[in-house]
Amino acid sequence: MTLIFKRVWLRLAWIVLATFMVIGCGASELETASLEVRVYDHREAISDFDELWLTISAVAIHPADQPRTSGWLELEPDLSKLDLTRYTEGEQAVILQTAVETGLYNAVRLTVDRATGSLKNGNQAEVEVKLDPVALDFWIRQNHPAIVGLDLVVLDLSDHPDQAYELQIRTGILIPDG
C-alpha cells in the first residue's frame, strides 16, 4: 500500500508543479506595457492648406510572430479627429496611449476614414487617403514605453489627370522616450 500511496503522491505533486508552471508562463505572456503613437506632417503640400481634418478610426500593430496577413491588434485611437496643419515643424499629435501585451512587433497600420480641408485659395479639398502599413520593428517592454511616430505626407498630384491631393505615410520611426 505504501508504494501505491507514494506513486499517487508523486504524480499529484508533478501535476501541481506542472499546473503552477503553466499558470506562471501564462502570466508572463499577459504582461502589458505602454505604447504611444504620434502623427505629424512631412513638409510637402500641407502648406497649401489652411486646415486639413483627418478622421482616424484605428491604429493597428502587428506581432512579429504572426503572418503579415493576420494577427493585427486593432486599437481605438484616443484622438480621432485632428487638423494636420497644426502638426508640422516638430509638433506631434499623440493619437494613442495605451497598454498592450509585451513583445516584438513589426508593423503599424493607421486607418484614416476621411481627409478633408480648406485650401489657402479658399477652395475645399477632399484628400484621397492611401495609407499602407509601415514595416517597423519595435519592442513593447516593461518600464520602456514604445513611442511610434508616423510621418504623414500630403502630396499634390494635381499635375496628373483627375487627381488632386493624396495622403500617405512617408515613414514610421521609433521616438526616444524623454
92-146 pLDDT, tens per residue?
999 999 999 999 999 999 999 999 999 999 999 999 999 999 999 999 999 888 9
Give the C-alpha separation, 32 to 51, whole Å.
37
| The residue to which cell 506562471 is assigned | 24
User: By C-alpha distance, which of 156, 150, 155 is closest to 169?
Assistant: 150
User: Based on the domain organization, do 136 and 163 belong to the same domain?
Assistant: yes
| Greater pLDDT, 84 or 20 | 84
- Cell numbers at residue 159, please? 499635375
pLDDT number for residue 22: 46
User: Based on the domain organization, do 95 and 42 belong to the same domain?
Assistant: yes
pTM given for the model? 0.80
| The residue to which cell 502570466 is assigned | 27
pLDDT over 90 (residue 10) = no
User: Based on the domain organization, do 43 and 61 belong to the same domain?
Assistant: yes
Measured at the CA of 42, the angle between CA 38 and CA 46, to 5 degrees, comes to: 110
pLDDT number for residue 24: 52
User: Based on the domain organization, do 25 and 37 belong to the same domain?
Assistant: no
User: Based on the domain organization, do 143 and 166 belong to the same domain?
Assistant: yes
pLDDT over 50 (residue 27) = no
Q: Side-chain half-sphere of 104: how many Cα atoms within 13 Å?
A: 6
User: By C-alpha distance, which of 176, 165, 178, 2 is closest to 84?
Assistant: 165
Asked whether the beta carbons of 95 and 39 are under 8 A apart, the reply is yes
Asked whether the beta carbons of 59 and 148 are under 8 A apart, the reply is no
User: Based on the domain organization, do 23 and 62 belong to the same domain?
Assistant: no
User: Based on the domain organization, do 108 and 46 belong to the same domain?
Assistant: yes
User: Based on the domain organization, do 60 and 24 belong to the same domain?
Assistant: no
- Cell numbers at residue 148, please? 511610434
- CA torsion 167-88-59-107 (nearest 10°) is 80
Give the C-alpha separation, 116 to 175, whole Å.
28
Q: What range does the domain containing 136 cover?
A: 33-174
User: Based on the domain organization, do 14 and 83 belong to the same domain?
Assistant: no
- Cell numbers at residue 153, please? 505626407
- Cell numbers at residue 164, please? 488632386
pLDDT number for residue 30: 77
User: Based on the domain organization, do 4 and 72 belong to the same domain?
Assistant: no
DSSP bridge pairs for 100: 33
User: Based on the domain organization, do 86 and 38 belong to the same domain?
Assistant: yes
User: Based on the domain organization, do 26 and 45 belong to the same domain?
Assistant: no
pLDDT over 80 (residue 2) = no
Q: What domain count does the chain have?
A: 2
